[in-house]
Chains A and B, each alone.
Chain A
Amino acid sequence: MALHNFQGLNNGDEVDFESTWETLAASFTQIHTKNASLLSFEQLYRQAYKIVLKKKGDELYKRVASFEQDWLTEKILAKLKGLLSNALISGNSAETGGQTANERLAAGDRFLRELKTAWEEHQLCMSMLTDVLMYMDRVYCTDHRQPSIYNTAMALFRDCVLLSRITTSEEQWVTMLGVLRNIILEQIKMERDGDIIDKHAIKACIYMLEGLEAKDTSNGPEKLYSSAFEEDFIRTSHDFYKAEGETLLRESDAGTYCRHTKKRIDEELDRCRSTLSDSTTSKIERVVEDELIRNRMNDLIEMDSGVKHMVDNERLSDLGLIFDLNARVDSKKTDLTKAVQRIVVAMGTAINNAGAAASQTQPAPAPETDGDKAKTTVAGVANLLTVAAIKWVEDVLELKDKFDNVWSTSFRSDQALQTALTRSFAEFINAFARSSENISLFIDDNMKKGIKGKTEYEIDVVLEKAITLLRYIQDKDMFDRYYKRHLTKRLLMGKSLSTDVEKQMVSRMKIELGNNFTLKMESMFKDMTLSEELTAGYKEHVTKRGDPDPRRVDLDIKVLTSMTWPLEGMGASSESDEDARMKTIYPPAIERLKMGFEKYYSEKHSGRKLTWLANMGTADIRATFPKVPSKNGTIVRKHELNVSTYGMIVLLLFNDLPSGESLNFEDVQSRTNIPTNELIRTLQSVAVSPKTRILVKEPMSKDVKPTDRFSFNESFESKFAKIKVLSITSGNKVEGDRERKETEKKNNESRNHNIEAAVVRIMKQRKELSHQQLVSETLTQLASQFKPDVVMIKKRIESLIEREYLDHIDGGDSLRPLGPPAVRIESP
């Protein structure tokens, strides 16, 4: 009948479940014993299909699971257990029972490989079973929400093999999983200690753990890997690296430590890739970072061979390693930053101390016996001080170069460390009272000598260095004061090697510190140019008048705008005020010249008043000394003397004096009206200085006393035709303590003025501000010039209130300007 053929299924053709199952089970055994090649897929498939179609899917499913359970327990587990020695089970390497490490390693390897094989075969067989049981999975499992037979079988491997208990003693047991974990952990430890292990076997077992869900998944789905292995791995790694960190710190130097740490991190990352799981990478990295870096960074930096040692010995690559380690755990590099700051400040302070020590040489003038010697000593001391000042700058620059190098090479040009370095340099530079003066002296020295024979590029480097240091200076106004003073001397005495370079320097400062800062310096240069024109113009004027006097005196004049130039500090001491200068008595020839120029000048610029600053000038004099006998007969000795203007005035006195006569100090003073101090200095330069003794002092000594007598030195001798008579204070030198106090006092006065100006400017603009706001605004406004003392600002505000420029609003804290602001802002 037709029904008979209905898909081979009809009501009469009852499926005998038991016999069908027996056939299937026999085939499954074949599959497990790798004898599948004789089995017909179609037959197996059809049998399973029929069972499921007959609504026996549930029974089939259970039978398969139970078949696998038996197989795993009886065959696989038994085999694996046979490989376990007691030592492997206990996982305690101390109880090796005579086993060598190598034997242990080999036993562990065998176990791992066997487990790997068992797992892989289980997977392979189950995938074949699943293929044959495809209809069951598709129809029965889907309809009854059962996991696929494959997944169930994998879970069975976990439950029957991995989680099976192995009894070690009467009351103790471990799971197979525990044994596996211990073996892997032990092998990893061996690898860390330098042994070679079978990574593939471990990787395969790890892969298995990753593929299996943990059984107790109360906290959501979790892989067996994380619950049964990873946690322990991380914990033991913490212990391992903690101990290693301690040992390393004790036994190695910092460089080795860094290299080792780097190596360890790389090893662990590599281990995650090759042996464990990528998902552990970040966790183990964190462990090594914690134990070897984060918890040890401070010790590492502070150890004897730490950062200080590295900086001192230029261990740039080691420093780089430290930086890398620190950066790895801390984006701000806090530990390293602090250490570097401390080191910079310490090294800087050492330079400061050396600088201060050098300046202490001054107040110990050698008790003199011999005048000559004593004099050179005084000049020498002043020179030494200048040298010390310049050395300070050079030392700072060297330190800066050193750390720039460290920064760019070792610290990977890191922004945070740059900021820290800048702050530290500023800290110690500003802590040094003479930094402004020294930097200015450094520039002065370069302008006068340093840049000689240098290429444009080299000069550029020098200028840039000076600017670099200038950036650190907080009290720019002090520097301004010194720089203008030093510049004045260079310009007036023609000491600058190159006006171009001077101008370059000023324009650099302009870029760095703004227009206001260099305004006056620029007008100083303008004065210089105008003066040249005036000198030339006057010369022409004189020539035109046709005064062919061969003894005419040439005039090289510098007309200085009075408020622009810092003349108060120019060697003129407090007593040489306006009056004293006015009264200087010039020799007739010079007086004529002076009158002539004044007339010429007032024709050009009416209404301007000229004040002559004899203390600033120099004169070239041709002097003829009496004939003296020599090898080649007698010769007239002519020398060209370069002396200060005062020197000229004094020497000219002796021109008219009959041979053999002398003048005493008071005579000279009354005839010249040169201020006492200046006169003493002048006489020292022409009568005491050993090489320029144009006058003879009686008695001969270093000091010039009012009772000394002076006469023309007829027997003066010199190898040179041109002789420069050095004025004792002519060069730019380090200030003495008294001068320094004076400078500071002046600076404070101008600061007071600046503060008041700023306060009034702010109040005019803001109309109303609280006291505190006003102070902070004032600080901000003045930051580019100097860092004012808050007390100073408060005093100025009080003073302004007292003088009724400001008023408290309703007696409160807020302030307002009073009336139409009547403050005229004067420039200092």
Chain B
Amino acid sequence: MASSDPKSKLMIGMKEYAYNHLVVTMLTLTSLFATSKYSDMTIRCANRTWKVHRAVLSAHSAVFAKMFDGPFAEATSRVVDLEGNDPYSVAALLSFVYTFDYDDSEHDESAKLCPLSFNVQVYLIADKYDISALQDLAASKFKKCTTTGGVSNLGDFVLAVRAIYGWTKEDDTLRDAAVAFAWARTNILSPDSEELVQVLLDLPEFAVDLIKRATELSRRDVYHCPSCKKYWFAPPGFSGTGPCAIKTCAKARNDWSKCLVSLPRNTST
């Protein structure tokens, strides 16, 4: 339940008793996963196995649904070998289909990935098995990492960027998030970093996106908030009135024109 107020969203058009029951049902599902009760198939990956329920997997993913439905080997063997997948990502996927969430905090295992890259992993496996809700969740967890200082070192970021630009398409949500993060943290973009230079050389698309971002932002107006004393770019379609774009301030003004910074320049927020 990552959303800030899940109840208010779920409650739309839903009676309270139904909502309560839904919560109980989900808890029951979670316990079924934990105890393997009623499970009717096995998933293998690397050295791990999970006892799961075909009905649950089929409900989330058309790929699993077809896999069990057709005349293929899995339908009779009831064993799926997800070889080649990262077992932690598989675990996250299974966690999601039973609990609608997964844990991206650092793993204890030796082969762990940083949360940033792990979320990219989950994002990709969600795409592979066509579970768009899990993709959304992974993307939002990725953004959270970039905005709440979850990135501790350049190496983690570079790893994630390589993965993102390696396996996603243009205009992907993760690409946007990575570019936004990179731009915001100009310190990361220090030309001194050989690693970064290498990434830009390896991933020209990333370099292009960065430049696009820079030129786009340079066309926008910059405001200086008298309350929080911070600078911010006018969001697209900004009308000159409303709250301060800095979320922690959000002080509303009727007329921001006096706060317009006359000369456009690069400013960090």
Interface residues of B in 57-114 (CB under 8 A from A): 62-63, 66-67, 69-76, 80-86, 89, 111, 113
**Interface size band for A:** 20 to 34
Interchain CA distance A408-B248 in the complex, whole Å: 89
Q: Counting CB contacts under 8 A, is A128 at the interface?
A: yes
Give the residue of A5, A10, A41, A138 whose beta carbon is less than 8 angstroms from that of B130. A138
Residues of A within 8 A of B72 (CB): 36-37, 39-41, 44, 128
Residues of A within 8 A of B163 (CB): 6
**Which of B29-37, B121-129, B224-232 interfaces with chain A?**
B121-129
Query: Can you list, as one digit per residue, whether each of A27-64 has a CB less than 8 Å from chain B (1) or not (0)?
Result: 00000000011111110111001000100000000000
Residues of B within 8 A of A8 (CB): 83-86
Give the residue of A7, A36, A44, A45 whose beta carbon is less than 8 angstroms from that of B125. A7
Q: Counting CB contacts under 8 A, is A143 at the interface?
A: yes
Given A2-B111, A41-B67, A131-B66, answer yes or no on A7-B73 (Cβ-Cβ < 8 Å). Answer: no
Give the residue of A2, A5, A143 whose beta carbon is less than 8 angstroms from that of B169. A143
Q: Taking the nearest CB of chain B, how far is it from the CB of A149, in angstroms? A: 14
Residues of A within 8 A of B67 (CB): 41-42, 45, 131
Q: Taking the nearest CB of chain A, how far is it from the CB of B89, in angstroms? A: 7
Residues of A within 8 A of B66 (CB): 41, 131, 134
Contact A39 B167 (CB under 8 A): no
Q: Taking the nearest CB of chain B, how far is it from the CB of A533, in angstroms? A: 90
Interchain CA distance A135-B7 in the complex, whole Å: 34
Contact A42 B124 (CB under 8 A): no
Q: Counting CB contacts under 8 A, is A9 at the interface?
A: yes
Contact B159 A7 (CB under 8 A): no
Q: Counting CB contacts under 8 A, is B166 at the interface?
A: yes
Interchain CA distance A757-B32 in the complex, whole Å: 104
Residues of A within 8 A of B69 (CB): 131
Q: Counting CB contacts under 8 A, is A11 at the interface?
A: yes
Q: Counting CB contacts under 8 A, is A3 at the interface?
A: yes
Given A8-B84, A42-B81, answer yes or no on A37-B71 (Cβ-Cβ < 8 Å). Answer: yes
Given A7-B125, A11-B166, answer yes or no on A40-B73 (Cβ-Cβ < 8 Å). Answer: yes
Count chain A CB atoms within 10 A of each CB in B71, B74, B121 and give the residue with the most.
B71
Give the residue of A5, A128, A131, A134 whose beta carbon is less than 8 angstroms from that of B86. A5
Count chain B CB atoms within 10 A of each CB in A37, A42, A131 and give the residue with the most.
A42
Given A46-B84, A53-B167, A143-B169, answer yes or no on A36-B71 (Cβ-Cβ < 8 Å). Answer: yes
Q: Taking the nearest CB of chain B, how far is it from the CB of A127, in angstroms? A: 8
Residues of A within 8 A of B73 (CB): 37-41
Smallest CB gap from A143: residue in B: B169
For the complex, count residues of B whose C-beta is within 8 A of A.
34
Interchain CA distance A10-B81 in the complex, whole Å: 20
Interface residues of B in 208-243 (CB under 8 A from A): none
The B contact surface, by secondary structure, is helix
Query: Can you list, as one digit per residue, whether each of B128-172 has a CB less than 8 Å from chain A (1) or not (0)?
Result: 101000000000000000000000000000010011001101000
Interchain CA distance A5-B167 in the complex, whole Å: 14
Contact B62 A7 (CB under 8 A): no
Contact B70 A6 (CB under 8 A): no
Interchain CA distance A520-B117 in the complex, whole Å: 114
Interchain CA distance A131-B80 in the complex, whole Å: 16
Query: Can you list, as one digit per residue, whether each of A682-707 has a CB less than 8 Å from chain B (1) or not (0)?
Result: 00000000000000000000000000
Q: Taking the nearest CB of chain A, how far is it from the CB of B85, in angstroms? A: 6
Q: Taking the nearest CB of chain A, how far is it from the CB of B29, in angstroms? A: 24
Interchain CA distance A5-B74 in the complex, whole Å: 24
Interchain CA distance A477-B230 in the complex, whole Å: 110
Smallest CB gap from B125: residue in A: A7
Smallest CB gap from A49: residue in B: B128
Residues of A within 8 A of B111 (CB): 2, 5
Query: Can you list, as one digit per residue, whether each of A111-135 has a CB less than 8 Å from chain B (1) or not (0)?
Result: 0000000000000000010010011
Smallest CB gap from B130: residue in A: A138
Residues of A within 8 A of B74 (CB): 40-42
Smallest CB gap from B163: residue in A: A6
Residues of B within 8 A of A134 (CB): 62-63, 66, 130
Q: Taking the nearest CB of chain A, how far is it from the CB of B86, in angstroms? A: 5
Interchain CA distance A42-B163 in the complex, whole Å: 23
Contact A42 B82 (CB under 8 A): yes
Smallest CB gap from B46: residue in A: A5
Contact B167 A7 (CB under 8 A): yes
Contact B169 A7 (CB under 8 A): no
Interchain CA distance A40-B124 in the complex, whole Å: 21
Interchain CA distance A134-B72 in the complex, whole Å: 15
Contact A7 B86 (CB under 8 A): yes
Given A8-B84, A37-B76, A42-B81, answer yes or no on A131-B70 (Cβ-Cβ < 8 Å). Answer: yes
Residues of A within 8 A of B81 (CB): 40, 42
Interchain CA distance A41-B80 in the complex, whole Å: 9
Interchain CA distance A2-B82 in the complex, whole Å: 18
A-B CB contact pairs (8 Å), 6 listed: A7-B128, A37-B71, A37-B73, A41-B67, A45-B67, A131-B66
Going nearest first, the 4 A-B pairs with the smallest beta carbon separation are A8-B84, A41-B72, A131-B66, A41-B67
**Known A8-B85, A36-B70, A37-B72; 12 more pairs at CB < 8 Å:** A5-B111, A7-B86, A37-B76, A41-B66, A42-B74, A42-B82, A45-B67, A46-B84, A49-B128, A131-B70, A134-B130, A135-B128
Interface residues, chain B, CB within 8 Å of chain A?
62-63, 66-67, 69-76, 80-86, 89, 111, 113, 117, 121, 124-125, 128, 130, 159, 162-163, 166-167, 169
